[in-house]
Amino acid sequence: MKAMVLNKISSVEEKPLELVDLPNPVPDSKQILVRVSACGVCHTELDEIEGRASPSRFPIVLGHEIVGKVESLGPGASRFKQGDRVGIAWINWACGQCSFCLRGEENLCDKAKWTGKDADGGYAQYTVVSEDFAYPIPERFTDLEAAPLLCAGVIGYRALKLSGMGNGKILGLYGFGASAHIVIQVAKYKYPNAKVFVFTRPNQEEHRNLAQKLGADWIGATGDTPPAKLNCAIDFTPVGMPVREALRNLEKGGRVVINAIRKITPIPELDYTEHLWYEKEMKSVANVTRRDAQEFLPLAAEIPIMPEVREFGLQQANEALILLKEGKIRGAGVLGMAR
C-alpha cells in the first residue's frame, strides 16, 4: 500500500512526510482491516510532527479522522462485515480496567493508544483497528464529509458538552477552523435561542464569511470586546493569548474550555480580579471517548451538519499541513485516497 510516513520530528515547512510502499497491515484477532477512502487533516498532526505531542515510535503513519470500508476481519472479529463503511477516530484503544475507563473516562486512560500517534493511522491506503473502536458512518454523509466529523466534530461536541452551554446562553468561539465551524452548527441546532459570537485572527476573511453563512450572531477579532459577556467559551486556537481574552470577556460564573492538545505559545499571565474572580472557570478538553463519537455521529446526521471540505490527494499531505498551519483552509482539509 501507499502511505505517507513520518520518520522523525521536523518542522512542517520541511515537508517531512514521505510517500512509501508498505506491506498491507494484517488484522489481529479482534481487529478489522479498513481500506481508507478519506482521512481528515488535523491540528494535532502539526503537534505530532513538530514534537509538541510526539508519536511514540517512528516511522509512523499519522491521521485519525479515517473513513473507509471493511476489507477483512481478524479471526475473532464479528461486529462488522466485509464492505461495511466505518470511521476511526483519535481513541484507538483503552484498557477498559482502570478507574478512568470504569467510570466512562477512557479519554484519560493512562494506557490508551491514540490513532496516528501510537498506532498507524489513515494517511495510507489501509489501516487496522480493534472492531470496538470503529463506528458506523451515517448514510447521509459522503466519505469526505464524514472524515472531519471524526475528530474536529467529535472533540468539538465534547468541548461543547463540557462548556456548560444551554439554551439562551451566549457562546464564544475563539478560532474558526475545522472544529468550530461544526460546533456552531451543533450549538444553533441544540440551543435555538442561544447566541454564538465568533472571534478570528484579523484578515481571516474566509473564516469570517463561513461564520456568517453558518449564523454567527457577531464576528470580531480575537482582541475585540463583544457586545455582551460570554456565558461559555471554547478556545480552538493553537496559541495562548485567546485563553486570557476569553476569560476577560466571560460573564460571572462562566467557563472557558480549551480545545487543544498543546499550545505553541504560553497563556499570558492572568490578573486574578479581571480574569478569574466571580467564579469563572477554565478547563481543558483531552481526547475523546467512544461514547462521544457514538452520540455525535447520529446527531450530526440528524441536524444535519454540513462540513465544508477541501480535498487533497494523499501525496499532497505535506502541502495540506502547511496550509492548515497558516490558517488558510476554509472548513476542514481532507485527504481523498481516490485522488
- Which residue number, 47 or 143, has a Cβ lying nearer to Zn ion? 47
- 101 or 180: CB nearest Zn ion: 101
Q: How far is the CB of 87 from Zn ion (least distance, A)?
A: 13
Which has the closest alpha carbon to 307: 147, 115, 97, 94?
147
Residues 31 to 50 in contact with Zn ion, rule: CB under 5 A: 42, 44
Query: For residues 216 and 236, what is the distance between their CA atoms, to the nearest angstrom?
Result: 16
Amino acid 234 reads I
The correct pick among 6, 61, 88, 109 for binding Zn ion (CB under 5 A) is 109
Q: Which burial class, exposed, middle or buried, applies to 58 when counting CB atoms under 10 A from its CB (0-12, 13-18, 19+)?
A: exposed
| Closer residue to Zn ion, CB minimum distance, 245 or 292 | 292
- Can you read off the three cell numbers belonging to residue 264? 505553541
CB of 151 to Zn ion, least distance (A): 3
Tell me the three cell numbers of residue 11. 518542522
Residue 205 CB partners (closer than 8 Å, separation 6+): none
User: Does residue 162 bind Zn ion (CB under 5 A)?
Assistant: no
E strand residue ranges, 229-299? 230-235, 250-258, 281-284
204-243 footprint of Zn ion as x/- string (CB under 5 A): ----------------------------------------
The minimum distance between CB 111 and Zn ion, in angstroms, equals 5
Stretch that binds Zn ion, among 67-75, 103-111, 115-123, 212-220 (CB under 5 A): 103-111
User: Is residue 95 a contact point for Zn ion (CB under 5 A)?
Assistant: yes
CA distance 316 to 299: 31
**Residues of the shown chain interacting with Zn ion in the complex, contacts defined by CB under 5 A:** 42, 44, 94-95, 98, 101, 109, 151
